[in-house]
Structure 1
Amino acid sequence: MHWLNWLIVVVYLVWVVGDGLRRSRDTHNLDGYFLASRSLPWWAVGLSVMATQLSAVTMIGTTGQGATDGMRFVQFYFGLPLAMVILGVTLVPFLHRAKVYTAYEYLERRFDARTRSLTAFLFLVSRGMSCGTIIAAPAVVFSAIFGWPLGWSVALMGIPTVIYTVLGGVQAVTWADVKQMVLIVVAVLAIFVVLVARIPVPTGDALAIAGAAGRMRVFDFSLNLTDTYTVWSGIVGGTFLMLSYFGTDQSQVQRYLTARSVDEARSSLLMSAYWKIPLQALILLVGVLVFVFYQFQTPPLLYNPAHERRARAAQPAEFQALESRYATALADRQVAARAFAAARQAGDGAESPAAAALRERESAVTAVRGEALQLAERVTGEPSRDVNYIIPRFVLDQLPLGLAGLFVAGVMAAAMSSIAAELNSLATSTVIDFYRRWVRPEGEDAHFLNVSKLATAAWGVFACIVATYAVSLGSLIEVVNRFGSFFYGSILGVFLLAMIPQARALGAFVGLIAGMSAVAAVNFGAPSVSFLWHNVIGAVTVVVVGVLLGVVVPARRPAA
């Protein structure tokens, strides 16, 4: 990468880290370190809430998802506005007024200590794995840029971020998130403009080409539990997922607990309700335009450069033959794309012979790439899905000088902010819900802060280990949500039980175990069921079991 790109990366990261640490104050006590003394403005909290989601996973995984699968992923977020409204009138005011450090403290007040601990434990496992996926996203970039082993790339991002998180409290994390959001939006818009300028057909024709290839389909009204991206899975399953993520996940709850008032906490969440779907659609559209761009330019046969090198070295004759067939298929596809654009200009519709020819040529290209991916898998012994390498390769090979540095800085800043936020919430729950609750109930704040820093480092190591495996699981944006959906529904069910008067401690604890068991049974016994429905299954199971036990088993009478 050119030295100017590196200069942009270094200057931005120094500014983010330096300004974040400068803004750290009141971190000598737990309230300041974990909650910024509940003093942050709503707009900063709102941007931090969005930034925690719009991590490097979004910059890499979502754009890659758009390039390979199109716009339908946006349906995943259709339940978000409804979830934010519900949370704004239920959990947000309640938890903010309860003056808790974690959402799980309330569960002990409502039920008992074992329900609190089990729920917090499930959060720690799910968020720890998700944090590993977030680290994996920038590791993909560095692996693609330098050809380094993935483990070294993970360490490059993970170790500095752990150090930064240990030194700074939640206030430093929040202000870094604000800068991250600005940079992400600027980087995405810049790439969008470059793509529109470099695609050699009008934008309308470019979108029509994407549509003919099935990339512009947004709405799918089919009621199919095996399809992840439909209107119904987004509205129903997505609402349950978003309710759990924003209402019960400590990484999000901790964000709005730092707000100055209940009204400001509500406003911070509504910012996501207004802007998340349009921003996500823009990011997906960038991926779609990358797909269209490669209709007229030669894309790599394998986007993962490490797999490309190993496959070429191990099977040179077979790889060369695939490259030859790939070049022919690409040339045919380019002719078909130009013919489709010309036919559209002449007034032909989406079902014209030119559109059918384009789809046929696209299928031929996909078939050759599929053979290449199988070859890479045989040679490397690793899963060969390379969706997470599409955008890094495009950025490095095609973006003008300076914009590549802007993108890499955006990925690194996004990763550092999101990882820092995740690690901070993991340390908070570890110390408050376990160490202070079960190991040392009394102590000076200085002692608990030292334990928090050790917990941060430990979770950082765990996340780095997970990161080395997450890349091979497919689209990172899907991986992080699959991890979360395995746990989130059951956790949400416990909080829903807390608002039902008939619910008792036994019902909450047994219901939580039943919910996790039901999700595990569906996940491993019926893997074709979309992960979004796991949230519904877990929440409903917990509530049903908890309410039934609350009715059947009488409440304990207080001792005389």
Structure 2
Amino acid sequence: MAVVAMSALDIAVLVVVLGGVFVIGIFISWRARDAADSSDFFLGGRDMAWWAIGGSLFASNIGTEHFIGMAGSGASSGLPVSLYEWTAGWLIVLLGELFAPVYLRAHVTTVPEFCERRFGPGTRILASALSLLACIVTKISASIFAGGILLRVVAGWDLWTSVPVIIVSTGVYTIGGGLQAVMYTDVLQAAIFLAGGFGGLVVSLQRTGGFAGLAHTLERAGLESHLHLIRPSSDVANPSSGIFTGLIISSVWYWCIDQVIVQRVLSARSLHHARAGCVAAGYAKLLPPLIIVVPGIAARVLFERCRMNGAGLGQPDGGWCTARLDEPDAANAAYPELIVREFPPGMVGLMISAMVCAMMSSLSSNFNSASTIFTVDIYHRFLRPHATERELLWCGRLATAFTCVLSLAWLPVVQRQRGEFYLVVQAASSHLAPALATVISLGIAWRRVNERAAFVGLAVGSLLGLVQYGVSLAYEAECRAAVVGTTIGGPPFACMHFLHMAVIICVVTLVVTVAFTLVGTPPPSSVTDSTTVLWKSCLVDDELSATPSPHVQMVDTDGAHDHHELGARPSTDSPMRTVRDWAAQLPESGTAGGLPPVETLGANAGAWGDPPTVTRVTSTRPGDGGRVGLSATQATSSSAAKHDNETAIAVSSTPRRAKGGCIDSRLGQLAVRSAGASLVVVVIALVVTFR
């Protein structure tokens, strides 16, 4: 094993990049230290812009387990692992188009809280437990383990020496600053590891003679299949039948239901920003195969060249011949080996910085989401319902630390498993995800699903997944010994590929849930109206305020928000039209004219379509100089009022429904927004497969 000897330039790059990220994270945490309430800590005040959402969606997913595990899978089995990323692209768009409106309309903090709104408290408890288990088993421990591999190769540290460094470096600003600190540092870290990733791609292709040289060496080594995306259904690593079924099922959970991802959507200042962030992240997911998988394949090519030449390229340590990248376990170190052996001074420091940033981004996101679930869905909901905001903030910080401890307890289980590390992580996810994905997706799409059906379906599907996962771990050695070439063997139930098992779990969960739904009583419309897709009606153009109760917000006369709240929750409105669009002159009190019809609220509410009652209010924000605005007891999120050509107050209420159906429009938007990404994926797949 090579250990990197960093130059002064590498050390300087490391200090500047990582030191800068750490200082910025601490600064944002310091600014957020006096968070007004738990919403500020867990959801960034529900005021995050689309670029922060898109960057954080992308960065929170790309961790060291990708640079280590996905590159290792590229070295071991080639391009098929890219489909995990390209499948995610259109699912993120699906999150924005179909799931985000429902989540925002429900005005929840966590996915388990949404489960209680839709299905009842029993489902919330079960969903909370499964979400925490999945976060610890498939994400946090995986990032820590992958970070340990990186530090072992580049610094010679063992796993348990690396762990304290990894956790402390990430936990400080996560515990202090909450989601806002996490998301802003995510964006910075994403820029760093994208820059490092593209630099690594260029160096990798230079060392292998470009794509042509890479393909030629693979052909000489008998590894032409490394450049084929589609594999037989019996393939031990990436069966096509599982890729196009089980992978999609598990990915629906990860990208549309998992708290880490959904929390970023819930933090959006509007549905428009949530959707724009999802589209940006969807396109960004086209990049990881280029900056991660291709360098992994390049490392395998350099190893094969050394082995075919048999001389270790004249290097005293045997060169690439000692890397043993033909063994799946050793292939997990493909990218770190590439850095140590091939990258020039400066690039070594940049790539190590990029990997560490990816690790910190993924870990901080998972720490924050796990603490959110524990605090909101367990502590506050069932243990301390009358806890103060300060108590909830401290509970969230302590929960972050406790999550670290639980993740460390799972590390020995990860260590003992053999094979491609990335697929080991996906196997755990594919046993926990299908039941949650099936029940919640069905409940969002079908109004009739009731509380008992959801709970029983989720319990049965989750139990089946956990039992099969336990059996597969117990029979791991026997299953591995039964593999013939690349074909799965051994006892069917114990040795079944995890993607095929995901399909079985999904089908069982679906059958049980539908059966109990059909024999049970449908839930009342008061439950389903705000927690299901509006298939037969839609919201107005500026679609909704995620806050169901009226609230007040200052806007400038040019239509821009200043995000100042007057005794109300932070706004999550869609971008408002400018005051000049309405040109409504309002008296000091009375009825507003010139505003569109709205759904009225409150004690003085009138019939549908009545205009809102307005009164004068004065801002008390320091530095405002007592600016005068207008307060309305009701208005749609697209309403704005004009006063003194200076400022205005807009009030959001329950979203107004339009007459008639709009599902065709919604699906049309989904098709248009995903068409570009899908076309790019298809072109890349065809070019690479049929080159």
Shorter-chain-normalised TM-score: which range?
A: 0.7 to 0.9
Larger Rg, first or second structure (1 or 2): 2
Q: Indicate the residue corresponding to 1:18 in structure 2.
A: 23
- C-alpha separation in 2, matches of 1:557 and 1:290: 58
TM-score w.r.t. length of structure 2: 0.66
- C-alpha separation in 2, matches of 1:110 and 1:206: 52
> Mean alpha-carbon deviation: is it higher for 478-487 or for 448-457?
478-487
TM-score w.r.t. length of structure 1: 0.80
- C-alpha separation in 2, matches of 1:234 and 1:269: 23
**Equivalent residues of 1:522, 1:529 under 8 A apart:** no
> Mean alpha-carbon deviation: is it higher for 482-491 or for 498-507?
498-507
How far residue 253 of structure 1 moved from its aligned partner, in angstroms, is 0.6
Please show how residues 211-360 of structure 1 align to structure 2 within 5 Å. Answer: 211=219, 212-220=222-230, 222-224=232-234, 227-297=236-306, 330-331=309-310
Residue 493 (structure 1) aligned to one of 431, 438, 448: 438
- C-alpha separation in 1, matches of 2:242 and 2:86: 9
Q: Indicate the residue corresponding to 2:563 in structure 1.
A: none
Q: Indicate the residue corresponding to 1:534 in structure 2.
A: 501
Q: Indicate the residue corresponding to 1:420 in structure 2.
A: 364
**Equivalent residues of 2:68, 2:336 under 8 A apart:** yes
Q: Deviations over 1:233-271 (max 9, x none)?
A: 333222212211122110111011112211221222222
Q: Indicate the residue corresponding to 2:658 in structure 1.
A: none
**Equivalent residues of 2:303, 2:324 under 8 A apart:** no
- C-alpha separation in 2, matches of 1:419 and 1:498: 30
- C-alpha separation in 2, matches of 1:521 and 1:66: 30
Q: Indicate the residue corresponding to 1:514 in structure 2.
A: 460
Q: Indicate the residue corresponding to 2:427 in structure 1.
A: 482
Please tell me the root mean square deviation across aligned C-alpha atoms, in Å. 2.7
- C-alpha separation in 2, matches of 1:153 and 1:488: 30
**Equivalent residues of 2:217, 2:305 under 8 A apart:** no
- C-alpha separation in 1, matches of 2:60 and 2:501: 23
Percent sequence identity over matched residues? 26
Residue 406 (structure 2) aligned to one of 444, 459, 462: 462
Counterpart AA for 1:512 = L
When you count strand as a share of all residues, which structure comes out higher?
2
Q: Indicate the residue corresponding to 2:213 in structure 1.
A: 205
1:470–1:330 Cα change, 3 Å: farther
Please show how residues 396-407 of structure 1 align to structure 2 within 5 Å. Answer: 396-407=340-351
2:214 is paired with a residue whose SS is helix
Aligned length: 484
Q: Indicate the residue corresponding to 1:125 in structure 2.
A: 133
How far residue 557 of structure 1 moved from its aligned partner, in angstroms, is 10
Counterpart AA for 1:105 = E
1:227–1:271 Cα change, 3 Å: farther
Residue 12 (structure 2) aligned to one of 7, 12, 37: 7
**Equivalent residues of 2:449, 2:523 under 8 A apart:** no
2:329 is paired with a residue whose SS is coil
1:173 is paired with a residue whose SS is helix
How far residue 228 of structure 1 moved from its aligned partner, in angstroms, is 4.6
- C-alpha separation in 2, matches of 1:95 and 1:221: 37
How far residue 112 of structure 1 moved from its aligned partner, in angstroms, is 1.3
2:245 is paired with a residue whose SS is helix
Q: Deviations over 1:416-473 (max 9, x none)?
A: 1110100000000000000001111112211100111110000011223333542453
Please show how residues 72-221 of structure 1 align to structure 2 within 5 Å. Answer: 72-129=80-137, 130-199=139-208, 201=209, 203-211=211-219, 212-220=222-230
Q: Indicate the residue corresponding to 2:55 in structure 1.
A: 47
Task: Say whether 1:430 aligns with 2:380.
Answer: no
**Equivalent residues of 1:140, 1:471 under 8 A apart:** no
- C-alpha separation in 2, matches of 1:534 and 1:268: 32
Q: Indicate the residue corresponding to 2:557 in structure 1.
A: none
> Mean alpha-carbon deviation: is it higher for 20-29 or for 243-252?
20-29
- C-alpha separation in 1, matches of 2:275 and 2:251: 15
**Equivalent residues of 2:447, 2:523 under 8 A apart:** no
**Equivalent residues of 1:133, 1:479 under 8 A apart:** no
**Equivalent residues of 1:57, 1:133 under 8 A apart:** yes
- C-alpha separation in 2, matches of 1:411 and 1:464: 20
1:465–1:520 Cα change, 3 Å: closer
Q: Indicate the residue corresponding to 1:62 in structure 2.
A: 70
1:394–1:80 Cα change, 3 Å: closer
Larger RCO (CA under 8 A, 6+ residues apart): 1
- C-alpha separation in 2, matches of 1:509 and 1:475: 34
1:106–1:95 Cα change, 3 Å: same
How far residue 102 of structure 1 moved from its aligned partner, in angstroms, is 0.1
- C-alpha separation in 2, matches of 1:369 and 1:388: 10
**Equivalent residues of 1:154, 1:468 under 8 A apart:** no
Q: Indicate the residue corresponding to 1:360 in structure 2.
A: none
Q: Deviations over 1:319-341 (max 9, x none)?
A: xxxxxxxxxx652899xxxxxxx
**Equivalent residues of 1:134, 1:467 under 8 A apart:** no
**Equivalent residues of 2:77, 2:237 under 8 A apart:** no
How far residue 88 of structure 1 moved from its aligned partner, in angstroms, is 2.8
2:145 is paired with a residue whose SS is helix
How far residue 529 of structure 1 moved from its aligned partner, in angstroms, is 2.4
- C-alpha separation in 2, matches of 1:529 and 1:281: 30
**Equivalent residues of 1:75, 1:229 under 8 A apart:** no
- C-alpha separation in 2, matches of 1:237 and 1:450: 39
- C-alpha separation in 2, matches of 1:35 and 1:438: 21
Counterpart AA for 1:14 = G
Q: Deviations over 1:461-514 (max 9, x none)?
A: 122333354245333322222222111111112212323233221111111121
- C-alpha separation in 1, matches of 2:100 and 2:236: 32
**Equivalent residues of 2:77, 2:226 under 8 A apart:** no
- C-alpha separation in 1, matches of 2:427 and 2:14: 31
- C-alpha separation in 1, matches of 2:236 and 2:94: 26
How far residue 78 of structure 1 moved from its aligned partner, in angstroms, is 4.6
Q: Deviations over 1:170-214 (max 9, x none)?
A: 111111111121111211221222222233x46413323224423
> Mean alpha-carbon deviation: is it higher for 100-109 or for 427-436?
100-109
Gaps of 5+ in 1: 299-328, 335-364, 374-383
- C-alpha separation in 1, matches of 2:131 and 2:350: 34
**Equivalent residues of 1:76, 1:233 under 8 A apart:** no
